[in-house]
Each structure stands twice: as C-alpha cells, then as structure tokens.
Chains A and B, each alone.
Chain A
C-alpha cells in the first residue's frame, strides 16, 4: 500500500502525471454526485435513518 504522503508527493511532483493531475484537480463536488449515489443506494445507516 502506498502511503498517503507518497501518493501526494507523486501526484504533485511527477511531470508525467501532469495530465492526470489537472483532470483530478478538476474533480468538483458536483462531479462526485454519481459516486455519492452509489453509497446512497447501499446506505449502511438505512435501518437507523428510517426509524419510525
């Protein structure tokens, strides 16, 4: 497993990652909607949140 710090260093220092980096940093909350929807479908707390 690559540590968080190593990931950060690679992400921000390697020129060959520049294309990926610019794309990754354009990730906005709005763009994450689809990913967030996955968890909403499989919501661990569903049982609690629907307490009547």
Chain B
C-alpha cells in the first residue's frame, strides 16, 4: 500500500508539472503547443519519475522536482518530434503537422523547458539551465551521429553516450538540484543516470534485433549492438549473417539471422555489457551519500534482474572477466 501511495503521489506531481506547462503564457497563446502539452498528461515521458526519485533520494520532497519534471517532459516531447523526423517514422506527429511545423514545435518545447527552469525557484538555477542546454546539445549531436549510421564499435558507443545517456543523467541531476543537493552529489547522480541510459540503449537494441517481423533497424541497414557484433566479428557464420541481414523482410531469413545472433555470441555480448554497467552503477550508487538510495537501487534492479534470471535459468556464470 505504501508503494501505491508513493506512486499516486508521484503521479499527482506529474500532473502539477504538466499544469505548469499548460499555464505558461506562450502555451496558452499557441494551440498546437498546448495540444502537445495536453497530450503529455496521458503520455508520460520515459523515466518520468527520475527527477522526483532523485529529489527524495537527496532528502528533499518529490514536489521539489516539479520544475525538473516540467522541463524534462518538454525535452522528451522535443526529442521525439525530432527523432521521428530523422527516422521518417510513419507514426510521427510530423505526418499531421508537416516537417517544418514539427521542427518548429520541437524548438518551442526546448524554449519552454528552459523558461520553466529560468522562472523556477531552484537555488542553483544557472546550473539547471546549463544542464538542460547540455541535454539538448549532446542529444542533438548523438542524433546526428546516429543518422550517419557508422558501422564501428567505437562509433556505436559514441552514439550511445551522446544520444541515449544525457536524458537519463539530466533527469536525476535536475531532480536532485531542485531539492537543493550538493553539486558533488548531483554530478554523481548524473553519472549514474547516464550509465542507466547506456543500459536502456542495450535493452532497446536487443528488442529491436529480436523483433518479428523485422523492424526498421533491420530494414534500413542500421547496426544496433547485436547486429554490429554479428556483422563485424569474424565467426564461421559471419558471411551468411551479412547475406541474411540484407533479406530481413523475408520472415525465414530474419529467423535464421536472429538465430545466428544467439549462436555467434552477440546476445551473450549484450548480456555481458548489461551486467558490466550494472556492476559499475551499483558501485557508483554505493559511493553517493543519499538520504534514501533505495528507490534508485530499485530502478537499477528492475533493469538487470531479468538478465540475472536468464543466466540462472541457463545455468551459466556471468562472464564479466572475459
């Protein structure tokens, strides 16, 4: 019951954050912007609870994080608008709005998020604004690297760190900053969030590669981590995999290619990368002095418990020493 009460409280705080967006004078004067903000009421951003969790972890109240939550919701909406444009995702809002208006609304949301932080009562407002700017700047760089579809291991991790990590890092950083945390603590929470982002990206890649029918990563010749491994590492089925990869719209070819992802060690490699980051994040969390670290540890455990379970099921040790 305590958990349910906590969740309800956090949801009320999310509603408060959306209210801040909806009552902003610019939103009230701009129906298309207001429509996006209305939509956010029922479509919460990924990891929306990060900022409230961070505020409580450092000894503050969840409601301290309202400006962070409002700004991050704006960032999320802006990033999705842009991501859909770059991916030419047929489900994207740009299909109704047109590309130009969608890009312009993304720019507006970035401005709205910034304005929410500037007008907030956060003691370290300048740091909050700088962190929000860094979030948008780094993610934009990551998006641009991503669309260039570089096919190397180094490029993969560079894209992941630029594109996927800043959002999660900023969520914890801004939430803790809103609650008045020390700078050292906010910085370490940001690092923790960025590791979390890398873990999320690996999960994302596993899903995309194992989806059936073939998703956009297969069909557009992209290289999520398992495909990068199976295409780039020298193994007996490498040539076959590359051939099958180009026929992924055929369900039989896709199934065979996905089977090679398992047998060549690509999935094992991803599981190991998940475990390594989990261990690193646990060490990092243990080194941060927090009033209430439990919710953050729980967030991390949620991501990694299924990997542990899988290794247990197949009777394998986790090969972190390889």
Interface residues of A (CB under 8 A from B): 1-8, 10-12, 14, 17, 19-29, 31-32, 34-51
Does B47 sit at the interface, judged by CB under 8 A? yes
A20 to B143, CA, bound (A): 36
A36 to B307, CA, bound (A): 10
Please name 15 pairs of A and B residues whose Cβ atoms are closer than 8 Å in the assembled complex, sorted by A: A4-B269, A8-B269, A19-B317, A20-B316, A20-B317, A24-B265, A24-B316, A27-B267, A38-B203, A38-B303, A40-B207, A42-B47, A42-B200, A44-B204, A48-B93
A44 to B91, CA, bound (A): 14
> With a CB–CB cut-off of 8 A, which chain A residues contact B263?
25
SS of B interface (majority): helix
Most chain-B CB neighbours within 10 Å: which of A1, A22, A35, A39? Answer: A35
> With a CB–CB cut-off of 8 A, which chain B residues contact A24?
265, 268, 271, 314, 316, 319
A4 to B267, CA, bound (A): 11
A50 to B43, CA, bound (A): 8
SS of A interface (majority): helix
Report how many residues on chain B are interfacial, defined by Cβ distance under 8 Å: 52
Does B256 sit at the interface, judged by CB under 8 A? no
Q: Which 10 A-B pairs have the closest CB atoms?
A: A23-B316, A34-B306, A39-B203, A23-B314, A10-B322, A24-B268, A35-B306, A8-B233, A39-B207, A47-B80
Verify B93–A17 contact, CB threshold 8 A: no
> With a CB–CB cut-off of 8 A, which chain B residues contact A45?
80
> With a CB–CB cut-off of 8 A, which chain A residues contact B302?
38, 41
Verify B203–A31 contact, CB threshold 8 A: no
> With a CB–CB cut-off of 8 A, which chain A residues contact B267?
27, 32
Most chain-B CB neighbours within 10 Å: which of A4, A25, A47? Answer: A47
Verify A51–B322 contact, CB threshold 8 A: no
Verify A48–B153 contact, CB threshold 8 A: no
Verify A8–B89 contact, CB threshold 8 A: no
> With a CB–CB cut-off of 8 A, which chain A residues contact B203?
35-36, 38-39, 42
Does B294 sit at the interface, judged by CB under 8 A? no
A17 to B321, CA, bound (A): 10
Tell me the minimal C-beta distance from A10 to chain B in angstroms: 4
A37 to B269, CA, bound (A): 19
Most chain-B CB neighbours within 10 Å: which of A4, A29, A46, A49? Answer: A4
> With a CB–CB cut-off of 8 A, which chain A residues contact B234?
5, 8
A35 to B264, CA, bound (A): 19
A14 to B272, CA, bound (A): 16
Closest A-chain residue to B320, C-beta based?
A2
Name the one of A17, A36, A44 contacting B210, with C-beta atoms under 8 angstroms.
A36
> With a CB–CB cut-off of 8 A, which chain A residues contact B310?
27, 31-32, 34-35
Name the one of A7, A26, A41 contacting B272, with C-beta atoms under 8 angstroms.
A7
Q: A11-B265, A23-B314, A48-B80 are in contact. Are A38 and B306 (CB under 8 A)?
A: yes
CB proximity to A under 8 Å, residues B276-322? 302-303, 306-307, 309-311, 313-319, 322
Tell me the minimal C-beta distance from A36 to chain B in angstroms: 5
